[in-house]
């Protein structure tokens, strides 16, 4: 009975109320014709509800976004195919696509009646104003009876997602970085966080110079082998992103976590462009080690797109994993919030003698626009001073500091030249 009351439209409720009044009035006044009219008015909404429920709304919805991955404020077109797998014709439907609020208004459209096995295709545009994995769906549909007395609601539970990547800012080259190819100081490093195949002999391929055939290896393997010219050594760069909720302030695009994610994405992109072999480390409770490591730009950007605030334990696991990654030197870029003394010392020790270390320490309280700081007793100025004292180029970050300006100030610091 409750479901029937919820399905009544304003017109249906008026018909039912009028019918009840007429039935009671007819009984009270002895006017049987009036009661008959009232009975007909009451029966009409019941009949309309039965007509509305005779249709099977087991539709199938498939979505595909073009492109499937976008950046902030970049438009995307979502194509949706609605098919009717049942053996009966579906009714005309009023449809509304449920979207995350950051994707804009919910699109509404009319789905025509589909024959058995039929399908229709609709498209709508979205534009995301915030990074993340945004939900597309489910599709809500409504079917109205021919008299407009009842309205049946249902939801097609399938859903998809649109991945919105963080904003990438173009960064300037810095004196503290050098170039990505060649030696780092006086010692060349190959990227080998998990080991790398350093063999200089490989199988012969069509077009290889016959003068490069390695005859001892050919005799040993029975197949033509050629000498592989060594690739130039690459400098290693490790980018750390602190996602502790306690260290950040503000929400949405104006929050400090968003600033940190943008800086990390921009740094990874810039360092890869300049020839560094980059490894991004972020806390991830889903990993056995509690840390996620990404070396590919596309994968790193996807990780950053899905990054959310984490608990306090994440930074300890990340610093522990970074100690092994930076043991042989290399550039270290840390985008962090205020830390306690022990964590600040652990972070400062990641920079090896002669290697550059760049630190961006976000002031979560300033991003919170005067709100109570999440960090409580943590002071970003103390963290900045501790890192600067250990030879890092460190910068405290407030909302008025742009990502590009912050990078230019830190990466161009003369403090890193000849750091011990």
Element (H, E) at 209: none
Cα diameter, the chain: 116
CA distance 64 to 158: 13
What's the whole-number mean pLDDT along residues 231-246? 83
Residue 187, pLDDT score? 39
Report the Cα–Cα distance between both ends of the chain, in Å, rounded: 79
Residue 376, pLDDT score? 55
How confident is the model over 72-98, as pLDDT tens digits? 999 999 999 999 998 888 888 999 999
Among the listed ranges 202-211, 275-284, 350-359, which one has the minimum average pLDDT value?
Answer: 202-211
Element (H, E) at 82: strand 75-83
398 pLDDT higher than 60: yes
Write the CATH number of the domain with boundaries 236-416: 3.40.50.410
198 pLDDT higher than 60: no
pLDDT tier, 303 (very low <50, low <70, confident <90, very high otherwise): very high
DSSP code at position 31? -
CA distance 386 to 397: 15
Which tokens sit at 53? 């429920």
Topology of the domain comprising 60-165: Immunoglobulin-like (2.60.40)
Residue 177, pLDDT score? 66
Highest mean pLDDT (candidates 3-12, 122-131, 144-153, 313-322): 122-131
**Which of 392, 290, 382 has its CA nearest to residue 343?**
382
CA distance 125 to 79: 9
The answer to whether domain 60-165 and domain 236-416 are alike in fold is no
Residue scoring higher pLDDT (185 or 5):
5
What is residue 254's three-state secondary structure?
helix
Residue 226, pLDDT score? 82
122 pLDDT higher than 90: yes
Which tokens sit at 242? 């602190």
What's the whole-number mean pLDDT along residues 382-399? 94
375 pLDDT higher than 60: no
What's the whole-number mean pLDDT along residues 253-259? 92
CA distance 122 to 415: 58
Omega within 30 of 0 (cis) for the link into 139 = no
Residue 314, pLDDT score? 73
Residue 377, pLDDT score? 67
Residue scoring higher pLDDT (199 or 369):
369
> Domain-by-domain residue ranges, the chain?
2-52, 60-165, 192-230, 236-416
What's the whole-number mean pLDDT along residues 340-362? 92
How confident is the model over 13-68, as pLDDT tens digits? 898 999 999 999 999 998 889 999 999 999 998 888 887 776 667 899 999 999 98
359 pLDDT higher than 70: yes
6 pLDDT higher than 90: no
Which pTM was predicted? 0.76
Average pLDDT, the chain: 84
Residue scoring higher pLDDT (174 or 108):
108
* Residues ≥6 apart with Cβ < 8 Å to 55: 88, 90, 91, 143
Residue 148, pLDDT score? 83
């Amino acid at each position: 009975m409750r479901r029937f009351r919820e399905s009544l439209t304003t017109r249906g409720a008026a018909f039912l109320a009028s019918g009840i009044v007429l039935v009671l009035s007819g009984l009270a006044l002895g006017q049987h014709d009036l009661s008959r009219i009232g009975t007909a008015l009451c029966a009409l909404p019941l009949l309309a509800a039965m007509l509305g429920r005779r249709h099977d709304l087991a539709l199938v919805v498939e979505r595909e976004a073009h492109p499937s991955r976008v950046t902030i404020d970049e438009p995307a077109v979502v194509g949706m195919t609605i098919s009717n797998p049942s053996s009966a014709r579906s009714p005309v439907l009023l449809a509304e696509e449920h979207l995350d609020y950051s994707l804009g208004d919910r699109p509404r459209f009319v789905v025509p009646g589909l024959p058995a096995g039929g399908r229709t295709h609709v498209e709508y545009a979205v534009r995301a104003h915030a990074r993340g994995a945004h939900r597309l769906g489910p599709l809500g549909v409504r079917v109205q009876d021919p008299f407009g007395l009842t309205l049946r609601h249902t939801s097609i539970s399938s859903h998809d997602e649109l991945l919105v990547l963080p904003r990438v800012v173009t960064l300037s080259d810095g004196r503290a970085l050098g170039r990505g190819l060649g030696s780092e100081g006086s010692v060349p490093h190959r990227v080998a966080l998990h080991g790398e195949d350093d063999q200089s002999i490989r199988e012969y391929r069509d077009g290889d110079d016959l003068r490069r055939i390695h005859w001892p290896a050919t005799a040993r393997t029975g197949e033509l082998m050629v000498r592989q010219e060594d690739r130039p050594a690459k400098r290693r760069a490790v980018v750390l992103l602190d996602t502790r909720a306690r260290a950040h302030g503000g929400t949405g695009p104006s929050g400090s976590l968003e600033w940190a994610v943008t800086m990390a994405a921009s740094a990874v992109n810039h360092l890869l462009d300049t020839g560094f072999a980059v490894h991004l480390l972020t806390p991830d409770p889903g990993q056995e080690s509690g840390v996620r490591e990404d070396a590919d730009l596309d994968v790193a950007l996807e990780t950053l797109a899905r990054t959310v605030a984490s608990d306090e334990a994440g930074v300890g696991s990340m610093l522990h994993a970074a100690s092994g990654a930076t043991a042989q030197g290399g550039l270290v870029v840390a985008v962090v919030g205020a830390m306690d003394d022990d964590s600040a010392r652990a972070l400062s020790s990641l920079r090896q003698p002669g290697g550059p270390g760049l630190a961006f320490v976000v002031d979560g309280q300033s991003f919170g626009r005067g709100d109570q700081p999440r960090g409580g007793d943590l002071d970003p100025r103390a963290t900045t001073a501790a890192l600067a004292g250990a030879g890092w180029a460190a910068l405290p970050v407030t909302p008025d500091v742009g990502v590009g300006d912050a990078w230019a100030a830190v990466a161009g610091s003369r403090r890193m030249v000849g750091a011990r």
